[in-house]
Amino acid sequence: MNRKRHPGHLDDQRSRVEVLASIRAIAGFGRLEVGPRIDVDTSQPPDLDVVLRQIRRALAHTSAED
């Protein structure tokens, strides 16, 4: 764990093993299938213009279904 999560997760009250087990359990739930999903690779700074286009396209698709 190289990055610090929000203090609301109370990670400082649990061991590293407990935190990792919790994260793995949540990851096991899989993806929420509630509408269009936008995947953003954050291993490098994302191209925000591309991300915004994807968001606009998803919103237009969602509002067209209403």
Statement to judge: residues 43 and 25 lie in one domain: no
Q: What digits encode the pLDDT tens for the residues 20-62?
A: 999 899 989 988 888 788 999 999 999 999 999 999 998 887 7
Number of domains in the chain: 2
Judged against a pLDDT cut of 60, whether residue 6 lies above it is answered with: yes
Q: What region does 30 belong to: left with phi over 0, alpha with psi -120 to 50, or beta?
A: left
For residue 46, what pLDDT is reported? 94
Statement to judge: residues 7 and 26 lie in one domain: yes
Per-residue 3-state assignment (H helix, E strand, C coil) for the chain: CCCCCCHHHCHHHCCHHHHHHHHHHHHCCCCCCCCCCCCCCCCCCCCHHHHHHHHHHHHHHHHHHC
Statement to judge: residues 66 and 40 lie in one domain: yes
Domain coverage including residue 25: 1-30
Statement to judge: residues 14 and 40 lie in one domain: no
